[in-house]
Amino acid sequence: MSRKNTLGFWLMTCLAFAVMSPAIYSSSNQASPSHPRIEILDYKIATTLNPEAHELKSAATISFAPLESTDRIELEISENLSVRKVLNAEGIELEFGQSEIGPGFLSVHFSKHLEAGLSAKITVEYQGGFERDRFSRMYTRDENSAYIGMEGIYLMYSAKWFPVSQFLVSRATTTIEVTVPLGMTVIGPGVQLPVITKGVNETFTWTSKIPVLPGSLVAGQYNQKKVQVGDITLQCFAKDSKFEAMEKSAEATAKILEYYKKLYGPSLSGNSFRLVEVDDQLARQPGMLGTIFVTRSELAQPLPPVRDLARRIAYQWWQETVGIRSRDDLWLEDGMAYFSAALFMGDNGGAAAYKEETQNLAVLGLKFENKSPVKLGFGLGYRSEKYESVVAGKGAWILIMLRGMLGEAKFSDLTQQYINNYTGKGGGTTDFQKLAEKIYGKELGWFFAEWVDATGVPSLQADYVIFKTQNGFRVSGTVKQDRDLFRMPIEIGVESGETKEIATVELNGKSSAFDVSSFSMPSKVNLDPNNKLLRDSKELQTAVQLSLGNDLKQKGDFIDAIRAYESALKINPHRSLAHFRMAEVFYEQFNLQSSANSFRDALNGDKDPKWIEVWCYVYLGKIYDILGQRQRATAEYTKALNTKDDTFGAQAEANKWLATPFTRERTTMETEKN
């Protein structure tokens, strides 16, 4: 048996790590083009977690079938883990090499060829650790998917804490045995088996007979409570007895589950689920079969995180029910999740709520749209901000546009046929396109090529003149775009009093002509009046810069946040929200003069949204109090009260400091508003 552990090997490995990016999901982390193809059939993972040492010790028994004759297989495993031994089904040690084809890969060699289609079995024994400070040339840090500690444990599938094949694609049945110290509860995918107690440890076993992306689990000191909402049973797991907030989230969760059941069909988890409080680092993680995540900060909010729950639940539905056959098709899972959540928001809050959510998705999709085509979004870093923007945000808008072209009835038919054809098999872009073309009745290769395979969105403007005709009026004009190869049907809306006329123009080339007739004198001409096209505009670019600034501000990167807000103001100098957000950053930095100036600029802008006015007065009052100018402070608090706007509790806040002068130490960092 060879275990690649010579001094020369480790020196070369260390050198490789030193020059590589530490990102665990780097697009360069790919196996060789000729790696043998296998199908994972089943996992049996036994792991012992040591939270005090932030370590695990595991043995993963993997049943698989080679898809071609081979004498080796290649698996992916976290660089934080060291493989100690690989055994075949008879318990005989096999030759293996860790990182011999690249960091994060395990090669297992067999003494004789494995025949295609015949099942085989290996057991991989390994150990290692995940903690927030444990990273170096030999360790990678990924707080978003793996951590082992006394305050809580989470090991997501995406952390590759066990050997995986065809990352994010290959699904398998799974049994996970997890041993933890007494007092901890382990929650995994599928169904829980009886807990076994041995001394100071307990072993939790979770099993899934449904093929899933296996291996995700969370553990911690949880309090439990069952919540029944209609036919839905939710076992809630919360820390510090946050059951009032959990019950509200459980009610929202049940409503979302019922909606998706009606829209797409029953969940593979049936009517029983678990709602689990998790670390904020897992905000972009969808959960696992039967388990839905809600983060600590979300539970601290006054209202349930409906949008985030809707996205996570929808992702689980699409990933577990249909799945994909290639990472190039990830947008169909993430895009469908965010699009489905928008549909739920519309069903729950009406047309205005749906429109607001699609606008939010447009901002999200444009934030990093130019970084990668949707098809190659995995290379941006799985579950990263850029990935979410391109794969989920723009991916959702691809579906919104396709729905606009086909119409709601035909798009619903497309969705249902896709589900029926590929449930449990894994679908993909090519399959989805063929079905769309069949239902639409026209070729759609151009649509998928420009939206899935390429980057860029069009910027449009309309020039037109109005003519008086014998039967009324005619609007004649052209739609101009900045991309001569872009094509897309676009609607032109003409308003005249209460009458609205809509014509569809096939946008093709730099300029496309249109004519719309109207009985009455037109008062307004709108491009894309029903928001069916993702396109660039000054309004959206302003919103994108605001969103980027907010992200940076939340991370404490104040300098770059100010730059983003300044970019928004270059596009729209009268955007009050940009002035307000910049004023907040100055306030956090204790740059009171600049903060006051920006709050005043916000009051002199478009005052959109309306709550900006009341909160500008509140903040100005606080600034004057800090500076010891009590009379001026009370004048600002009084102005806030006179607005009668109580958004975010503004009236109580103004009354509080009107009665007692506000004080703030220079080191205080406030988070009153988000």
CATH number assigned to the domain comprising residue 34? 2.60.40.1730
Last residue of a domain, one of 527, 546, 577: 527
H or E segment at 152? strand 152-155
CB 155 within 8 A of CB 146: yes
pLDDT recorded at residue 555: 87
Name the percent of the chain in helix, strand, coil, to the closest 5: 40, 30, 30
CA-angle at 505, arms to 503 and 506, nearest 5°: 155
Give strand pairing partners of 467: 474
Residue 671 lies inside a defined structural domain of this protein: no
pLDDT recorded at residue 558: 94
Residue 532 lies inside a defined structural domain of this protein: no
| 379: its two tokens | 């290379």
Count of domains for the chain: 5
Pair 191, 43 in one domain: yes
CB 213 within 8 A of CB 230: no
Pair 416, 270 in one domain: no
Last residue of a domain, one of 527, 552, 584: 527
Pair 255, 296 in one domain: yes
Pair 37, 185 in one domain: yes
pLDDT recorded at residue 11: 35
DSSP codes of every residue in 475-498: EEEEEEES-TT-EEEEEEEEEETT
Pair 483, 593 in one domain: no
Could you tell me the CATH number of the domain that includes residue 333? 1.10.390.10
Pair 51, 155 in one domain: yes
Pair 71, 30 in one domain: yes
d(CA 671, CA 567) in angstroms, rounded, equals 24
Residue 1 lies inside a defined structural domain of this protein: no
CB 398 within 8 A of CB 293: no
pLDDT recorded at residue 270: 86
172-181 and 38-50 beta bridge pairing: parallel
d(CA 596, CA 583) in angstroms, rounded, equals 7
pLDDT in tens, 158-186: 999 999 999 999 999 999 999 999 999 99
CA-angle at 340, arms to 338 and 343, nearest 5°: 115
pLDDT recorded at residue 10: 37
- Locate tokens 């007092």: which residue? 183
| 314: its two tokens | 């929808």
CB 51 within 8 A of CB 120: no
Pair 83, 21 in one domain: yes
What is the identity of the amino acid at 401? M
Last residue of a domain, one of 193, 219, 245: 219
Q: Please list the ranges in the chain whose pLDDT falls under 50.
A: 1-33, 135-138, 667-674
* Domain coverage including residue 270: 222-321
Residue 674 lies inside a defined structural domain of this protein: no
Residue 431 lies inside a defined structural domain of this protein: yes
Question: Which is nearest to 43 in space by CA: 194, 181, 216?
Answer: 216
Pair 444, 489 in one domain: no
Residue 668 lies inside a defined structural domain of this protein: no
Pair 409, 440 in one domain: yes
d(CA 4, CA 613) in angstroms, rounded, equals 66
pLDDT recorded at residue 215: 86
Pair 552, 489 in one domain: no
Instruction: Give the start-end residues of each E strand in 230-323.
Output: 232-238, 272-278, 291-295
Pair 415, 340 in one domain: yes
CA-angle at 273, arms to 58 and 46, nearest 5°: 10
Residue 672 lies inside a defined structural domain of this protein: no
Residue 664 lies inside a defined structural domain of this protein: no
